[in-house]
Structures are given as structure tokens and as C-alpha cells.
Amino acid sequence: MKSDHIKTLVQDPAVGSGVTVAGWLRTRRDSSGFSFLEVNDGSCLANIQVIADKNLANYESEIKKLTTGCSIVVRGELKESPAKGQRVEILADSIEVVGWADPEHYPLQKKRHSFEFLREIAHLRPRTNALGGVARVRSRLSYAIHEFFQRQGFHQIHTPVITTSDCEGAGEMFQVVTEQELNEGSPQSDGINSFFGRRAGLTVSGQLQAEVFAQALGSVYTFGPTFRAENSHTSRHLAEFWMLEPEMAFCNLDCNMDLAEEMLKYLLKDVVEHCQEDMALFDKFIEKGLIDKLRHVIDNDFVRVSYSDAVEELLKSGRRFEFPVSWGVDLQSEHERYLTEEAYRLPLIVTDYPASIKPFYMRVNDDPTTVAAMDILVAGIGEIVGGSQREERHDVLLGRMQEAGIDEEEYQWYLDLRRYGTTPHSGFGLGFERLVQFVTGMHNIRETIPFPRTPGFAPC
Ligand code: 4AD
Ligand code: MG
């Protein structure tokens, strides 16, 4: 059915014209001789007010029985609204009830519900102001990512979801087996998938395959779902999340950091500009000062500091951290947050981590105990981006793989890229939900993805 979006009616109203709105009832208020209906169609945060006169044919039989959550189609005339807080309203000529929502059972009431409760009704939570807003902001950010990279001549690569390489080497892959294997008893203990004839799993990163295309198309990006069987119950981890991974040939670590900083600023600016109504809601109810926080990031240079200097900073802070700090340990969220929120008070790019705590593909520095890694840390979250310059020297890479106990036979294709026309190249991964979290101020990452998957939780 062709209907008018409330967003258009509210932002650019053609007063006096006939309109059709199809949406869900938020509230009904009866007055003498008519009812006010607040309708939302999801096109924007705002509802539109509908005046339903008692002379409508189904006024007593249906309209006066409408409750929150019912779906209706309203046809009528758009009028200037005499009431405060809205420019226009609809004087209904007809209201068709499409779907009832039994108020005895419909779980969304007018009051505010906790996010924990809403997670239990994942199929209905997008109908709330906050979760609807997150979905719209997420959609806009996804669009802006494509716009940013396409404008700069990057090509999108659809890297595989099923893969036979564990990019991060952290042992967090979900293995893929066939139904037949399961029906015939347990899958083989070595995990060999009978369909592929080798171990296969869900991707933990599209980077290695993106590297293949960067070594042919120059600048590419992949943006898709990523899976990690991490047993993390934190507010920043999901078992299924989306990652954006650009990869560039002929690009060193500085070029990589410049791109990541430019991209983050572009995305924040875009969303502040294009999602004003939803952003104002988050600023008011989710994180006070949110928009100022984003502007602070947009308007200032990120601080770039080496891992060694960051460790010094942590040691001299005099802070008692739950995880003690010393050179060589991985930075924990509490360290990351101290650095970006208190020590530097700006987004921070930490570079040159110890080789021993980073994956095999990162380029070994001249020292040679560190690698050309870079993580971007932001307030409230910690690591939002992880990237590096890749090891382009065949023999050094081979050495790192052997140290890490990686079967070089399985990675011949990856080594070949260093054998035939190798280039210095770099890339990074942006955790898309962490970006949405930072932008919306949502406390828990589970509110930033339509259907969160975490240990013990995957309802629909
Ligand atoms: O730092 P990570 O593990 O880097 C990579 O996977 C590289 N292969 C990326 C690259 O260089 N192309 O992950 C990148 C980002 C992290 O900074 C974080 O924002 C996000 O992905 N991330 C998660 N987000 C939600 N839940 C999880 N379990 C995440 N693990 C990583
Ligand atoms: Mg990382």
C-alpha cells in the first residue's frame, strides 16, 4: 500500500492535502465528541496526532477500542495543529483497523521499560522510541560507511562467512558441521567437515581475504557479520557482530591511521547532521552531553601514542587497576578507558604493541620486539578500532607463522601474496556495534544490534 511517511509530513508538510498514514498506535485519548490518536510509523521518532471524530462510521465499534500496538491506516486531511509541540495533525476521514493488539497481553505499555526486559521481547523492542532510534541511526551509519569509501574509490568485497582460516588465531571460531555429520553421530574429532573435506568455521575477520583483493584492486573494504565464540559477558562483546574492514595496498601505518581518523570523524559528523531527532533523544535520556562528546571528537586531532608510552602513563598514574600493568601485557578495558577518558581526554591511537600479544600478520618493527599495530580507543568503550600494517616480507611472515604454530601449507595462498608483487599494505577493523554504542550512548552493546547473540542468549 502506498502511504505517506510521517517523517515527510512532519518535516515538509503540505497543509490542506489528503494523506494516508499506515502505522501503529502509541496512545488513544478520548475527548467529548472525538478521540486523539498518536500514531507512529517508524519513519522517524515523531508520532503524528490524528483527530478521530465521533461521526466516523466505526467510531464506537472500533476506534474507541483501539489500544497501544494496534496497526491502523488513516486517511484524512493534513491540518495546522492548534496544539503546542506539533506543527500538523490529521483530521481523519476514515480509520481502518488492520491488526488488533490485545491489551491484556501486549507487553509494551506507555511507561518506560528496562533494556533488560526489552531484550526478552526482541521481536517487539524496535517499536520503542529508543530501540527504533538505534535502528535508524545504525542504518544511517551503515549508509555513511559505504558513502565514505565509495567516494574515495574503494571497492566493496564480499568476503566469505564460511572460512577455513582463523585470521586472529585466538581459538574463538565457531566450527561448521553438516546436519548429516550430526545425524550420523558426533562430527569427527579432528573437526574435519565432511562437506569441505577440511575444518571450516564462521569468519572471525574478513581481513585475510580482503588482503587478496587489495593486492589487485588497491583499496577495498569488507563490511559484514563476524563471529567469535568468546565467553565474554561484558557490555562490549557480542558473539555475532558486524565489522568494517578496509584494506589498502601501498599504504603504511601512518596512512592507515590517517584514514581511520578521517573516517570516524566523517561518520560522527554525518550522524549528528542527519539523525538530529534521534540523537537529541539519546542526548536527553541515554547519555547527557552525548552530542558535545561527539563534537569534541570531530573537532580535535586524535592523540597518537606508542604502547610503551601508554604503559608509562598507566604506571605513573598511581592507579590501582584490577589487572596490573607492565610492559608486555595486553591493555584491558580499564586501562584503555583510563588513557582516553582521564589521561588524554581525547580519542587515542595506541601504536607499536609487543609482537608477542598480536597476531602473526602484523608487520614486525625494526626493534624487533614490537609490531606496526594501531588500536583506536574512545571514551566509555575503549577499543573501537584495531588495525595494523601487514607483514609484506615473505620470510619474516613465514617466521612469525612458524612461531605461532600455524600450518603454512594451509596459508600458501596468503604467503603467495608476498611472493608475487608484494606491497606494503595496511588496514583496520571497526567494530560496528561499538561505533553504534559510542554514537547512541547505549550502555550495553546488546542494544545496538537488532538481535544480539551472547553466551547463553540467542532468542530469535
Ligand atoms: O581488533 P580485532 O580483533 O581486529 C581484527 O579482527 C582485524 N583482523 C581487523 C583488521 O585489521 N582488518 O577486531 C576489530 C574490532 C575491535 O576493535 C572491536 O571494535 C570489534 O572489532 N570487536 C568486537 N565487537 C563486538 N564484539 C566482539 N566480540 C568483538 N571483538 C572485536
Ligand atoms: Mg583488537
CA of 366 to the centre of ligand 2 (A): 22
Q: Which ligand is nearest to the CA of 331?
A: 2
Q: Evaluate: CB of 167 within 6 angstroms of ligand 1.
A: yes
Locate 77 and state its grid cell.
Answer: 486531511
Name the segment(s) of the chain with CATH classification 2.40.50.140: 6-99
**Which amino acid residue places its CA nearest to atom 24 of ligand 1?**
431
pLDDT over 70, % of the chain: 99
For ligand 1, whether the C-beta of 336 sits within 6 Å is: no
Ligand with an atom nearest the CA of residue 384:
1
Q: What is the location of CATH 3.30.930.10 in the chain?
A: 125-167+203-448
Q: Please report the pLDDT score of residue 181 as a whole number.
A: 84
pLDDT in tens, 229-256: 988 889 999 999 999 999 999 999 999 9
CA 384 – ligand 2 centroid, Å: 8
172 C-beta closer than 6 A to ligand 1: no
Q: How far is the CA of 113 from the centre of ligand 1 (A)?
A: 31
Indicate the DSSP class of residue 405.
Answer: T
The pLDDT tens digits of the residues spanning 17-55 come to 999 999 999 999 999 999 999 999 999 999 999 999 999
pLDDT tens sequence across 382-410: 999 999 999 999 999 999 999 999 999 99
Asked if the 6-99 domain carries CATH number 3.40.50.300, the reply is no
Check pocket membership of 228 for ligand 1, CB cut-off 6 A.
yes
Mean pLDDT on 354-368: 97
Lateral strand order in the sheet of 155-156: 155-156, 219-227, 240-249, 425-431, 382-389, 373-378, 348-351, 303-306
Fold of the CATH domain 125-167+203-448? BirA Bifunctional Protein; domain 2 (3.30.930)
> Has residue 356 got a pLDDT over 90?
yes
pLDDT tens readout for residues 306-326: 999 999 999 999 999 999 999
Can you give the pLDDT at residue 56? 98
**CA pair distance 342, 305, nearest whole angstrom:** 15
Helix (H) / strand (E) containing 119: helix 115-120
Instruction: Tell me the whole-structure pTM to 2 decimals.
Output: 0.97
In the predicted model, is pLDDT for residue 171 greater than 90? no
Report how far apart the first and last C-alpha atoms of the chain are (Å, whole number). 28
Ligand index nearest the alpha carbon of residue 388: 1
C-alpha cell at 233: 559477558
> Ligand 1 centroid vs 337 CA: distance in angstroms?
17
CA nearest ligand 1 atom 1, residue: 386
In sequence order, what DSSP letters do the residues of 157-185 get, joined into one string?
----SEES--TT-SS-PPB---HHHHHTS
DSSP string across 187-225: PPTT--BTTTTB--EE-S-SHHHHHHHHHHHSEEEEEEE
The answer on pLDDT for 70 being more than 90 is yes
